[in-house]
């Protein structure tokens, strides 16, 4: 079913959005066009409606250690007011979801999860919390807007009563944007500077209007299409494409968010330690294609020297910034090194590509 609408649906329709079904919602895929919207974020500032994302609060005297046992990264390593990118794994080491967790205090943490995984994640968290800690799914209570681009701070600061200049990457605060109370986080999914604003669902339209009144001539609405090309230029993983329950963080190049020696351990840790000891069998690589043919799409096979499939493309597009075809794929370890040539079957032909060191585009943040 794709009949859900975010609190901003009417604003998108008024702005001329073209809608597509995504994670059960009718979401704007583009307004002016993906190329134009992508460039606007890289050069100016754009706003994304990401209200379809999930918000799960974990609260109680044991909230931090209880949640820490469920994730690969370490909440003890950050301070109150800081955010953490992490994964939540199955006992097999497969990725249940990738998350951003906001630490208000050891007794109150906000877990932001992917839209398609909200019900699954909430059930997993609720079922596996230990001690005096409780999970609350408050996804329907929130609207979320991402303001992204090199001019994000310049747009937001004049209408915000919180000091933004000193707010570092992956830190957050609370304040009002115009008259709208928000959680204001310096986080995002584009590689540019920017903020993610969380407010009450019924305040979403007022927040949207406040941003566009302040950003006239500077701010543009951005759809899912440009969100995908922007994140791919950074080699940011997309759940359901590049990572899922069949892939581990070690295979996906996310070992940096896996604290394998974390005191107390975490669900999936033994499996990840075993995989590391045995040798990681495959790696998620970034590749740049040669020539000007069609981009490789998810599911296209990566071939060995004899033409046999040995891997698979997970994401692929034409980079609006670079003007070349780029993508990500799982390949056997040994084929993952920078500079390795790849062959990718695209329909009835074979295209050549090269493994590169990510990101494709230098982050602006």
Task: Please check whether residues 19 and 165 belong to one and the same domain.
Answer: yes
Round to whole Å and give the CA distance between 57 and 292: 47
- CB-based contacts of 305, cutoff 8 Å, min separation 6: none
Task: Please check whether residues 330 and 214 belong to one and the same domain.
Answer: no
pTM greater than 0.75 (yes/no): yes
Q: Is residue 361 part of a domain?
A: no
Task: Please check whether residues 328 and 186 belong to one and the same domain.
Answer: no
Reduced to 3 DSSP states, what percent helix, strand and coil does the chain have, rounded to the nearest 5?
A: 25, 35, 40
Cβ distance 151 to 44 under 8 Å? yes
Cβ distance 34 to 20 under 8 Å? no
Cβ distance 207 to 199 under 8 Å? yes
Residue-level pLDDT at 291: 84
Q: Is residue 88 part of a domain?
A: no
Task: Please check whether residues 156 and 219 belong to one and the same domain.
Answer: yes
Q: Is residue 61 part of a domain?
A: no
Q: Is residue 258 part of a domain?
A: no
DSSP structural state of residue 140: G
Domain CATH code at residue 287: 2.40.30.110
Which residues of the chain are modeled with pLDDT < 50? 1, 365
Closest CA to 104 of 63, 155, 144: 63
| Structural domains in the chain (count) | 2
Task: Please check whether residues 40 and 185 belong to one and the same domain.
Answer: yes
Q: Is residue 28 part of a domain?
A: yes
Q: Is residue 147 part of a domain?
A: yes
Task: Please check whether residues 218 and 145 belong to one and the same domain.
Answer: yes
Residue-level pLDDT at 192: 97
Closest CA to 326 of 362, 293, 301, 364: 293
Task: Please check whether residues 189 and 287 belong to one and the same domain.
Answer: no
Range of the domain at 176: 9-52+140-233
Domain boundary residue, one of 200, 218, 233:
233
Element (H, E) at 119: helix 118-128
Cβ distance 233 to 326 under 8 Å? yes
Domain boundary residue, one of 233, 256, 289:
233
Task: Please check whether residues 146 and 228 belong to one and the same domain.
Answer: yes
Task: Please check whether residues 212 and 294 belong to one and the same domain.
Answer: no
Task: Please check whether residues 291 and 176 belong to one and the same domain.
Answer: no
Residue 58 pairs with which residues in a beta bridge? 109, 135
Residue-level pLDDT at 1: 46
Element (H, E) at 10: helix 9-14
Q: Is residue 271 part of a domain?
A: no
Cβ distance 46 to 195 under 8 Å? no
Domain boundary residue, one of 174, 201, 233:
233
Task: Please check whether residues 322 and 197 belong to one and the same domain.
Answer: no
Cβ distance 46 to 149 under 8 Å? yes
Domain CATH code at residue 46: 3.30.1360.120
Name the 3-class secondary structure at 351.
strand
Residue-level pLDDT at 2: 60
Q: Is residue 117 part of a domain?
A: no
């Amino acid at each position: 079913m794709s009949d859900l609408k975010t609190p901003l649906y009417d604003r998108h329709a008024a702005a001329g959005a073209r809608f597509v079904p995504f994670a059960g919602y009718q979401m704007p895929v583009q307004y002016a066009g993906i190329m134009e919207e992508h460039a606007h974020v890289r050069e100016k500032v754009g706003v994304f409606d990401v209200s379809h994302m999930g918000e799960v609060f974990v609260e109680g005297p044991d909230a931090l250690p209880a949640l820490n046992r469920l994730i690969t990264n370490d909440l003890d390593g950050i301070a109150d007011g800081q955010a953490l990118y992490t994964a939540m794994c199955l006992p097999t080491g497969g990725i249940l979801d990738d998350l951003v967790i906001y630490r208000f205090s050891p007794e109150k943490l906000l877990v932001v999860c992917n839209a398609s995984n909200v019900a699954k994640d909430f059930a997993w968290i609720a079922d596996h919390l230990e001690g005096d800690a409780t999970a609350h799914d408050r996804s329907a209570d929130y609207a979320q807007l991402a303001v992204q681009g090199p001019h994000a701070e310049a747009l937001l600061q004049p209408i915000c009563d919180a000091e933004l200049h000193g707010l570092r990457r992956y830190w957050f605060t609370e304040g009002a944007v115009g008259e709208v109370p928000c959680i204001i986080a310096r986080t995002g999914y584009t590689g540019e500077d920017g903020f993610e604003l969380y407010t009450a669902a019924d305040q979403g339209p007022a927040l949207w209007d406040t941003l566009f009144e302040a950003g006239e001539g500077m701010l543009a609405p951005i759809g899912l299409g440009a969100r995908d090309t922007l994140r791919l230029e950074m080699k940011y993983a997309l759940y359901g494409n590049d990572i899922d329950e069949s892939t581990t963080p070690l295979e996906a190049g996310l070992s940096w968010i896996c604290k394998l020696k974390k005191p107390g351990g975490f669900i999936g840790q033994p499996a990840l330690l075993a995989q590391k000891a045995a040798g990681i069998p495959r790696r998620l690589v970034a590749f740049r294609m040669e020539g000007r043919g069609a981009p490789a799409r998810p599911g296209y096979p990566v071939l060995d020297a004899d033409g046999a499939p040995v891997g698979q493309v997970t994401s692929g597009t034409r980079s609006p910034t670079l003007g070349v075809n780029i993508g990500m794929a799982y390949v056997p370890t040994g084929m993952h090194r920078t500079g390795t040539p790849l062959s990718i079957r695209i329909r009835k032909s074979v295209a050549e590509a090269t493994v590169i060191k990510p990101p494709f585009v230098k982050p602006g943040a």
